[in-house]
Amino acid sequence: MPALNSAASTPPDRPFEGGAFHPALSGGAGSGVIRLSGADVRFTSEAGEIGLPLAGLQLALGGASDRLIFLTHPSLPQTTVHTADHAILDHPVILGSAELAAQRAKIRTKQHVGSAVWFSLAGALVLAVVALVLSRAWFVKMAAAAVPVSFEISAGDKVFAQMMAGKKVVKNAGVDAQLKQITDPLLAGISDTRYPFTFHVIEDATLNAFALPGGHVVLHSGLLLAADRAEEIAGVLAHEIAHVTGRHSLRNIIGSAGLYLALSAVAGDASGLLAVLADNSAFLLDRKFTRDFEREADHVGWDYLVRAGLDPAGMVSFFERMEREEKQALEKLPLGGGVAQALQIVSTHPATRERIALLEAKLRARGSAPATGKMSLNYSAFKATVRASLHGADAPPPQP
Ligand SMILES: [Zn+2]
């Protein structure tokens, strides 16, 4: 927008496209070209010409959103010439007449005030929309802060005990000791020390790992056996730990408990929220997170790995491995009845490709930064120990 009273003038012979209202025009209106001279404003159309004397010419803003400039003269009340080309205000004839320049200045001021009001209204509207979108997540996070960590820990303990009742938990000192060589260096990089993390292996051939709120982390034997190196497991664990420290399960249920309870908790009364949580310990079992939480767990988990001095490439390569497995699983599904099953697989691993692409970009941005962390575990020896500890149908016969 030009500055107030800008002196840069338009060329004197420049025509301006516009229109006019006049009874002589067919239908009372027509479009044509406006030219200014020292004597008058001349509107030319196919129907003929209309002239407005310069002395006494009136300039005014009008039309929708003040888009048009109207030119009228008190001696010709039936004639109105208009243009949307505001450069007409910078014509030397307008600038050169004290009377017209004064009218032009008034119009410019009105335009500036108008746009300032419009911009502040639009700005307020944009802010309101952004606040609506963000505030829910923000209130949920603030409400979660009103829930003590001890609540998650005791609820997590309870649910973990129930969950493990039907599972084959691997109880093997060798597995535990070697797994510790992965988890100890990883935990050293986590500054959030509120949660007592414990790691468990269960006999399950599927490629999975999950964490319960409070700090129980469960690894399927299938996942340990599918990996090629300790850094891959560290990557998966870092992601799971980030779900715990980010309190994603808690934030999930607070989000669905309703904004009123969240607002009360933020305002200082968490009793309603805690009552709802106490009655809904099943929420701890719901490990389906939103894309936002998955992305957050990827980013935070990545930071945990880097802070621990571990190579985050393991995280990326394991997710790529999961993606391949997922594709194979989809291909193996029976035709027809497989659709629901296929959709379930996709929905429990949301946007895997998108997440991998983000992590690959982080890896490229990192360049060849060396991993300083010590991960001395002999991974193939660890896999042999895991394999030997299994009792299922696929397990090798016990050693004599
Ligand atoms: Zn996740």
Active site includes 240? yes
Question: What does the DSSP 8-state code read for residue 229?
Answer: S
Residue 395, in any domain of the structure: no
Residue 396, in any domain of the structure: no
Q: In which residue are the tokens 């003040």 written?
A: 66
Q: Shortest CA distance to 232 belongs to which of 207, 196, 199? A: 207
Specify whether the CB–CB gap between 212 and 188 falls below 8 A.
Answer: no
Q: Same domain for 53 and 183? A: no
Q: Same domain for 233 and 287? A: yes
Specify whether the CB–CB gap between 203 and 390 falls below 8 A.
Answer: yes
Q: Same domain for 160 and 301? A: yes
d(CA 101, CA 109): 12
Task: Write out pLDDT tens, residues 346-359.
Answer: 555 555 788 889 99
Q: Same domain for 344 and 196? A: yes
Q: How far is the CA of 295 from the centre of ligand 1 (A)?
A: 8
Residue 85, in any domain of the structure: yes
User: Under DSSP, is residue 57 helix (H, G, I), strand (E, B) or coil?
Assistant: coil
Domain boundary among 145, 174, 207: 145
Q: Same domain for 189 and 323? A: yes
Write down the pLDDT at residue 175.
95
Residue 214, in any domain of the structure: yes
Residue 53, in any domain of the structure: yes
Rama region for 382: left / alpha / beta (φ>0; ψ in -120 to 50; rest): alpha
Domain boundary among 110, 145, 180: 145
Q: Same domain for 303 and 230? A: yes
Range of the domain at 187: 149-389
Task: Write out pLDDT tens, residues 376-396.
Answer: 899 999 999 999 999 864 545
pTM higher than the cut 0.75: no
Highest mean pLDDT of the ranges 99-113, 133-147, 195-209, 270-284: 195-209
Percentage of the chain modeled with pLDDT above 70: 86
Q: Domain with 138 in it: what CATH number?
A: 2.30.29
Q: Same domain for 154 and 267? A: yes
pLDDT at residue 4 greater than cutoff 50: no
Residue 324, in any domain of the structure: yes
Q: How far is the CA of 89 from the centre of ligand 1 (A)?
A: 62
Q: How far is the CA of 184 from the centre of ligand 1 (A)?
A: 21
Question: Catalytic pick from 240, 294, 323, 331?
Answer: 240
Q: How far is the CA of 151 from the centre of ligand 1 (A)?
A: 22
Residue 394, in any domain of the structure: no
Query: Where is average pLDDT lowest: 31-40, 244-253, 364-373?
Result: 364-373
Task: Write out pLDDT tens, residues 318-345.
Answer: 888 888 877 777 776 655 545 555 554 4
Q: How far is the CA of 294 from the centre of ligand 1 (A)?
A: 5
Residue 219, in any domain of the structure: yes
Q: Shortest CA distance to 259 belongs to which of 141, 142, 136? A: 136
* Phi then psi dihedrals of residue 70, to 5 deg: -100, 135
Query: Where is average pLDDT lowest: 246-255, 320-329, 365-374?
Result: 365-374
As a whole number of Å, the end-to-end CA separation of the chain is 88
pLDDT at residue 137 greater than cutoff 90: no
Tally of domains within the chain: 2
Q: Same domain for 112 and 170? A: no
Tokens of 199: 């790691």
Q: How far is the CA of 287 from the centre of ligand 1 (A)?
A: 8
Domain boundary among 145, 177, 208: 145
User: What are the DSSP calls for 259-307, one per residue?
Assistant: HHHHHHHHTT--HHHHHHHHTTGGGGG-----HHHHHHHHHHHHHHHHH
Mean predicted lDDT score pLDDT of the chain: 83
